[in-house]
């Protein structure tokens, strides 16, 4: 049995190398280009332009060849991806279907657990409040000018009972979902932006601003004046290959 569902045949034997005269051509072009040290007249500018054309031609030639050589590799990559995708799609669909079933059950159980734990927490708060009130009543009776032994005994009994309830409430084990081997459960806060402008007004750090260079270039000239924008005209040159 194969250890993998995909098999790649003989790709390691593919070879790519430079043509025999490639380095010599590059060195010749570079040697000529290095003689361009300044451009002070039209003759020198013509020589410099020719040197740029030589460089651009070699760059274009190599780029064309690179793309042609690489295209079968890209096609192979796409073919590998397609074969894997076709093979895996039924498995992905089935895993997603089971995940939805399991996720729905887990979410429902989590709601039950949360409700039960909130009930336990409320019971603890109530027991602590009752105990505090019982202690306060006991102190109030103890500070009366004319104490009532009978009421003081009853108050002491009430304090003890309330404290026992606190202990019982604190001892109650929190609810939880039994762990399933191999299953990971995480809780994540989700969000949906319903009004981007309103949210940006109060929390601008939630957003990023990226300039649309194409829209800017299409709308300005060298005389454009806008807040936060500086415009000027630059001169550049290019050469025909």
Closest by CA position to 110, among listed 172, 178, 183 = 178
Q: Which residues contact 142 (CB under 8 A, 6 or more apart)?
A: 152
pLDDT in the model for residue 1: 46
Contact 202, 18 (CB under 8 A): no
Using one digit for the tens of pLDDT, what is the confidence trace for 4-28? 676 767 777 878 888 889 999 999 9
Rounded Cα distance between 218 and 236, Å, is 18
Mean pLDDT for 99-107 is 94
Q: Can you tell me whether residue 122 is helix, strand or coil?
A: helix
Average pLDDT, the chain: 91
Q: Give the CA dihedral 45, 47, 53, 56, nearest 10 degrees.
A: -90
Per-residue pLDDT tens for 146-183? Answer: 878 888 899 899 999 999 999 998 998 888 888 889 98
Give the DSSP per-residue string, 34-78: TT-----SHHHHHHHHHHHHHHHHHHHHHHHHHHHHHHHHHHHHH
Give helix 42-142 / helix 149-171 axis angle, nearest 10°: 150
Residue 103 pLDDT greater than 80, yes or no: yes
Please, how many CA atoms are within 13 Å of residue 144, restricted to the half-sphere of its CB?
A: 12
Number of Cβ within 10 Å of residue 143's Cβ equals 8
DSSP 21: T
Query: Per-residue b/e over 24-58, b at no fewer than 16 CB within 10 Å?
Result: eeeeebeeeeeeeeeeeeeeeeeebbebbebbeeb
Is the pTM for the entire model greater than 0.85?
no
């Amino acid at each position: 049995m194969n250890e993998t569902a995909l098999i790649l045949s003989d790709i390691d034997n593919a070879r790519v190398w430079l043509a025999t005269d490639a380095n010599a051509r590059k060195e010749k072009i570079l040697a000529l280009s290095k003689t361009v040290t300044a451009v002070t007249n039209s003759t020198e500018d013509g020589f410099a332009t020719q040197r740029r054309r030589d460089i651009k031609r070699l760059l274009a030639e190599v780029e064309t060849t690179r793309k042609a050589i690489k295209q079968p590799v890209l096609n192979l990559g796409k073919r590998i991806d397609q074969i894997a995708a076709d093979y895996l799609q039924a498995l992905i669909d089935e895993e997603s279907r089971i995940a939805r079933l399991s996720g729905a059950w887990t979410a429902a159980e989590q709601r039950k657990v949360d409700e039960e734990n909130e009930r336990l927490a409320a019971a603890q708060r109530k027991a602590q409040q009752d105990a505090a009130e019982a202690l306060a009543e006991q102190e109030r009776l103890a500070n009366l000018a004319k104490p009532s032994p009978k009421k003081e005994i009853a108050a002491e009994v009430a304090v003890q009972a309330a404290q026992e309830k606190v202990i019982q409430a604190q001892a109650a084990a929190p609810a939880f979902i039994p762990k399933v081997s191999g299953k990971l459960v995480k809780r994540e806060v989700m969000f949906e932006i319903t009004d981007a402008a309103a949210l940006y007004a109060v929390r601008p750090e939630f957003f990023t601003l990226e300039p649309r260079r194409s829209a800017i270039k299409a709308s300005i000239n060298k005389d454009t004046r806008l807040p936060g924008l500086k415009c000027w005209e630059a001169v550049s040159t290019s050469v025909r290959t």
